[in-house]
Amino acid sequence: MPVQTVGKVLELRRYPVKSMAAESLHSVNASWHGFAGDRRWAFIRPAMERSGFPWLTIRESPDLWSYQPRFLNLDDVESSTTVVHTPAGDDLEVTDPALAQRLGEGVRVIKQYGGIFDTFPISILTTQSVAGLSALAGEPLSALRFRPNILIDTTAADPFPEDQWVGAILRIGSYRCRVDVRDKRCVMVNVSPTGGAPNPSVLRAIANQRNARFGVYGATVEPGDLELGAPVILES
């Protein structure tokens, strides 16, 4: 099978609570359900249980970026207590009713072992694409704004190289995933992780220049471990 090294892993991130801040990782195990502990918790908006998208997200509450979740037991994150550091400086368990109350009247938390994903369990982005979109949007953008699990620094000369990976397999360490679709973006990308007013020019640039797609989604074909600096190999 022809293979090609297309870059290396620059960042690994997981999001223990949907739409809250990311955890930066040096290494991680990825299973059929994505990164261990990724998006295991989510808060549900009141009276939205029967909707197709009941989650409380950055779209409704941009300050969710400033809530920082972490696992107390990094050796077993799936059964670990999850603690959230709040903007007020408190550390509250994710199941503490006081935390849900701070997020809004009637908000409640749920946990799902397999992860609470909008589409696929793995999101992938390249530094070249971030640079390319920054040029289109007219401002420097952070990759974190787009909440990828894997940020890859590629050897490609042109921006948006991951568009060409759809349908292929990526091997990173002992982990392999299939690149399934380009990621269709929503207004969440207008919100910066560092705060400030949402900037609609970001989504506008993606919609007008990229058919609303930016980055790619993938699914596991072989669970395994991956770490920072690992070569990213494209199996075609």
pLDDT at 190: 94
| pLDDT above 70 as % of the chain | 99
Cα separation, 202 vs 70, in Å, equals 29
Range of the domain at 138: 3-235
What tens digit of pLDDT does each residue of 2-24 get?
789 999 999 999 999 999 999 99
pLDDT digits 0-9 by tens, 161-202:
999 999 999 999 999 999 999 999 999 999 999 888 889 999
Per-residue pLDDT of 123-140, as tens digits, reads: 999 999 999 999 999 999
Provide the CB-side half-sphere exposure for 157 (13 A, CA): 0
- Over residues 92-96, mean pLDDT: 97
pTM of this prediction? 0.94
Crossing angle for the helix pair 200-210 and 127-137, to the nearest 10 degrees: 110
pLDDT at 93 over 90: yes
Residue 141 has a pLDDT of: 95
**pLDDT by residue (tens digit) across 199-218?**
999 999 999 999 999 999 99
> For residue 42, what are the β-bridge partners?
110
Give per-residue pLDDT as tens, 37-77: 999 999 999 878 777 789 999 988 999 999 999 999 988 99
What string of DSSP letters covers the chain? --EEEEEEEEEEEE-SBTTSPPEEESEEEEETTEETTTT-EEEE-TT-TTSS--B--TTT-GGGGG-EEEES-TT-TTTS-EEEE-TTS-EEETT-HHHHHHH-TT-EEEE-TT---SS-SEEEEEHHHHHHHHHHHTS---GGGG--SEEEEE--SSS-GGGGGTTSEEEETTEEEEEEEEEEP-GGGGS-TT-SS--HHHHHHHHHHHTTEEEEEEEEEE-EEEETT-EEEEE-
**Which residues, in sequence order, are bridge partners of residue 31?**
34
**Sequence-distant (≥ 6) Cβ neighbours of residue 224 within 8 angstroms:** 29, 30, 173, 174, 175, 176
Residue 37: CA count within 13 A, CB half-sphere: 27
> What is the overall mean pLDDT for the chain?
93
**Tell me, what CATH number does 226's domain have?**
2.40.33.20
Q: How far apart, in whole angstroms, are the C-alpha atoms of residue 217 and residue 181?
A: 5
pLDDT of residue 115: 85
Is the distance from CB of 2 to CB of 236 less than 8 angstroms? Answer: yes
What is the total count of domains within the chain?
1
